[in-house]
Amino acid sequence: MHKLCAFAFVLTLVVVVLGAWTRLTDAGLGCPDWPGCYGFHYVPATAGEHALAAARFPDAPLEVAKARNEMIHRYAAGTLGLTILLMALCSLKHSNRRYRLPAFVLLALVIGQATLGMLTVTLNLLPFVVMGHLLGGFTILSLLFWLWCRHGTHAGTRHDGRDLSGLFRLALAALVLQIALGGWTAANYAAMACTELPVCQGDWLGQWQWSAFHPHGMPAENYQYGVLSQAERATIHAAHRLWAMVTALLLLALAWRLVRRPGLRGWGLALASMVLVQLALGLANVVLHLPLWVAVAHNGGAAVLLLILTGTGERLGRHREAIWHEAWHYPPREYESGGTISR
């Protein structure tokens, strides 16, 4: 089960990166149907298949490169779904039940994620669905990593992090919100709405549009390449930048506190380093006008930051669990009379 969990985690990381690649190459509608591609279970390759695809979807011309990117992502996601199903089935026969509940939670999540993947295509890249699909992938990734850390390392390793719990929760909430803002930025094609540093173009504060964050956005038949106004896209981009600074400060503050703990120093150094790398990638996206490899790395960097916080939280949580366990399983106390009493 532990090896299966590790395989599923690595595969999820691949699927997340492939999802970013698919979105950034504008291949989200590379196949206008689901789960196949122009009525096939693979990318149409021959001239006859191309003609049949054109007849089936006359309003969606076949672009082989985009269709290939989309189908690779679907194949990887389908393999992940089967792997998690196998985890759930194996957990029913496993002598230790500790995997059972997480495995079935993961199965429910992957079913929901497949549904969002279908809606992404059938609703023509509706931004709210696209962002939800991104967050679902990150949730599965972090849960698999938590499960792997929890059952894969020495159970006696624990750290008293009661004084860090408030800052940790605040930093985690800030990071999740920042990831959601990043997903909203990508879903609305707002990554290049601001091409200046350190501010957005012109009087961005005077042109702030709260309508940019409406969950349904402007009604349209197709949301590819975005349907919001320039002012709304600039608002989304500016919000992502501003909250990035708040998130970075909270994460660096948490990293500083972790570095001062001998048992958590490695996590703190990894967190601080990744925050700086992620900030550099964000700046490079603006300065270099969103090169594909930088944008994909920026998406992957967000996943790594979430994984670092997941691993840190798992270690901090062990201490609280141990205290709770000891509170209900006290060893007997010996008294001078020689008798014992069980508390």
State whether residue 333 is helix, strand or coil: strand
> Using only C-alpha atoms, what is the Rg of the chain?
24
Residue 113, class by beta-carbon neighbours within 10 Å (0-12 exposed, 13-18 middle, 19+ buried)?
A: buried
Dihedral sign for Cα atoms in the order 269, 273, 278, 283: positive
Strand runs labelled E in the chain: 333-334, 340-341
Catalytic residue check, 70? yes
Closest CA to 126 of 216, 23, 22: 216
The pLDDT score that the predictor gives to residue 195 is 85
Q: What are 95-115's pLDDT values in tens digits?
A: 667 778 899 999 999 999 999
Judged by DSSP in three states, 334 sits in: strand
Query: What digits encode the pLDDT tens for the residues 131-159?
Result: 999 999 999 999 999 999 887 654 445 55
Span 121-131, pLDDT tens digits:
999 999 999 99
What is the model's pTM? 0.88
Residue 331 phi/psi, 5-degree rounding, is: -75, 155
Q: Is the dihedral of CA 158, 106, 96, 4 positive or negative?
A: negative
**pLDDT per residue as tens digits for the range 44-53:** 999 999 999 9
d(CA 295, CA 280): 11
- Nearest alpha carbon to residue 282 among 304, 270, 268, 299: 299
150, two tokens: 């929890």
Do the beta carbons of residue 140 and residue 106 sit within 8 Å?
A: yes
- Tokens matching residue 247: 């998130």
Options 49, 63, 70, 196, the catalytic residue: 70
pLDDT at 334: 43
Helix (H, G, I), strand (E, B) or coil at 241: helix
Sequential DSSP letters for 38-93? TTBSS---SHHHHHHHHHH-TTS---HHHHHHHHHHHHHHHHHHHHHHHHHHHHHH
**Side chain identity at residue 189, one-letter code:** Y
Q: Residue 342: count other Cβ atoms within 10 Å of its Cβ.
A: 8
| Digit-coded pLDDT (tens) for 30-85 | 999 999 999 999 999 999 999 999 999 999 999 999 999 999 999 999 999 999 99
> Do residues 340 and 332 touch, judged by C-beta distance below 8 A?
yes
CA dihedral 302, 304, 305, 307 (to 10 degrees): 130
Dihedral sign, Cα of residue 104, residue 109, residue 112, residue 114: negative
Distance CA(122)–CA(63), nearest Å, equals 18
Residue 175 in contact with residue 306, Cβ under 8 Å? yes
pLDDT, tens only, 214-273 = 876 556 788 999 889 888 999 999 999 999 999 999 999 999 999 998 888 999 999 999
Q: Give the number of other CB atoms < 10 A from CB of residue 30.
A: 26
Q: Looking at the predicted structure, is the pLDDT value of residue 339 above 50?
A: no
How far is residue 325's CA from residue 162's CA, in Å, rounded to a whole number?
Answer: 16
